[in-house]
Chain A
Amino acid sequence: MTSSSTPRVVVTGIGVAAPNGLGREEYWKALLAGENGIAELTRFDASRYASKLAGQIQDFEAKDHLPSRLLPQTDVSTRYALAAADWALADAGLGPDSPLTDYDLGVATSTAQGGFDFTHREFHKLWSQGPEFVSVYESFAWFYAVNTGQISIRNGMRGPSAAIVTEQAGGLDAVGHARRTVRAGTRAVLTGGVDSALDPWGYASQLAGGLVSTATDPEAAYLPFDTRAGGHVPGEGGAILITEDADSARERGAAHVYGEITGYAATFDPAPGSGRPPGLRRAIELALDDARLAPDGIDVVFADGAGRPDADRAEAEALAAVFGERGVPVTVPKSLTGRLAAGGGAADLASALLALRDQVVPHTAHTTSVPEAYGLDLVVDRPREAALRSALVVARGRHGFNSAVVVTAPTTA
């Protein structure tokens, strides 16, 4: 689809809220240092739950980040999204004094879970005290579009906006939609994904999916591609990115260009029992085509890393089919944060852009023994320095979503 008239879309701002780091550099340092954000769930008493671990954001005082008007009306996930949006906009230099205003700026974010914690509290009031005690803000605080809406209102961003829900693939699909929106003429689109569901009801809902590890050791509960893989640990947070027309970024003298979104594709798996292959390989190949790159043009893959033998094997097979056996370094830094739902792909994309900047691949912490049959060059033990020009980020959402994004280091022209 690329032609000389198709605008190039670059990332000019990054904001991360993750269990092992608040803010872009804190998160990045934590990944490279192998700091684990997974620990025993402390937000409520989970002693009667089958699983007891989570990737929890610590030390986030909402009132330090948000005006008090927003506190009664926001779920914890929206608070993270608003803070990460503030950081990303500041990073991009898009503040009140920026030449970009109103309809120049769109918002396209993803959340897979909505406002669980807020809703849990309001349901508790409903059952124990009565309907007149339920907050009027429940009307939107639970809703999948609320992060996009609150970010838009708070920052006066009135351009084309959207909310995307595709489970764990949502963070990447939002970025794909943002790129499409910029190409259609909006100068900058704030995008990414943030999730949180670590209240008693949200955590129970995640466990009910049957994919959560019951291991109790925070260092060994989420082991993507490991022979011991036995499920994942749910985490909270994610990343917000500013995607921008490359010409616009140059014209206004954007402080950073982290990289270009050169490829994006999404596929959906065929129905179980159809006999047709899963769609992940096709998503990867389509994203490479979109980026006009051959497989050897990809220098590192940030994999989905479900942490279950069947899903890990399927992903390893797709990667080997495209890149060849041990054909490309692969990593899953989310082993330090848990799976962040829609936040996961977005955080991985932030990591990939920072990897391009610093020419280093963060490692897959905790995973130690990868089955030989996977044919994977998984980066384990410690970060690996490498010459990195393009990175592929992959995410899969439950029940069939596959998404792939290619990011390429900025050209120094």
Chain B
Amino acid sequence: MAQLTLDDLRRVLIACAGENDGVDLTGDILDVPFEELGYDSLALMESAAAIERESGIPLSDDAVTDADTPRALLELINGVAVA
């Protein structure tokens, strides 16, 4: 699978955990903490499980919940720094 983009992550988050009222996910959210985006650890685990199934990349729950921003999570998944 190609590298996961912020758009991909956005799509997975919304599909797996919905969207919080009053939060705009369409902007530049790379460095906005998940907590501010309204996603808790369960929302991230649910989304990570979907990404694992699509990509085949194994992701540990601990590593996923330690990733506190979209940038950190994308780096974890892609294994490279996000520009």
Interface residues of A (CB under 8 A from B): 67-73, 132-133, 135-137, 139
Contacts and interface: CB of A to CB of B under 8 A. Distances in A.
Contact of A67 (B14, B18, B42, B46): B18
Given A136-B42, A137-B42, A68 B49 contact: no
Contacts of A135: 46
**Most B Cβ at <10 Å: residue of A68, A72, A132, A135:** A72
A195 B10 CA distance: 34
A307 B63 CA distance: 55
B20 interface: yes
9 contacts: A68-B18, A68-B19, A69-B19, A69-B21, A69-B43, A72-B46, A133-B49, A135-B46, A137-B42
Contacts of A133: 49, 53
A73 B18 CA distance: 9
Interface of B: 14, 16-21, 38, 42-43, 45-46, 49, 52-53
Contacts of A136: 42, 45-46, 49
Contacts of B20: 67, 69
Nearest to B18: A68
A69 B20 CA distance: 6
Contacts of A69: 17-21, 38, 43
Contacts of A73: 17, 42
A72 B18 contact: yes
A69 B46 CA distance: 12
Contacts, number: 35
Contacts of A67: 18-21
**Most A Cβ at <10 Å: residue of B18, B20, B45:** B18
Nearest to A140: B42
Given A68-B14, A137-B42, A137-B46, A132 B53 contact: yes
B11 to A, nearest CB: 13
Given A68-B14, A69-B20, 12 more contacts: A67-B21, A68-B19, A69-B19, A69-B43, A72-B17, A72-B18, A73-B42, A132-B49, A132-B52, A132-B53, A133-B49, A137-B46
Q: Which 7 A-B pairs give the minimum distances between C-beta atoms?
A: A68-B18, A69-B18, A136-B46, A136-B45, A68-B19, A67-B21, A69-B20
B9 to A, nearest CB: 16
Contacts of B45: 136
A9 B17 CA distance: 39
Nearest to B53: A132
B19 to A, nearest CB: 5
Contacts of B43: 69
Contacts of B16: 72
Nearest to B21: A67
Nearest to A68: B18
A24 to B, nearest CB: 25
A73 B14 CA distance: 13
Contacts of B38: 69
Contacts of B17: 69, 72-73
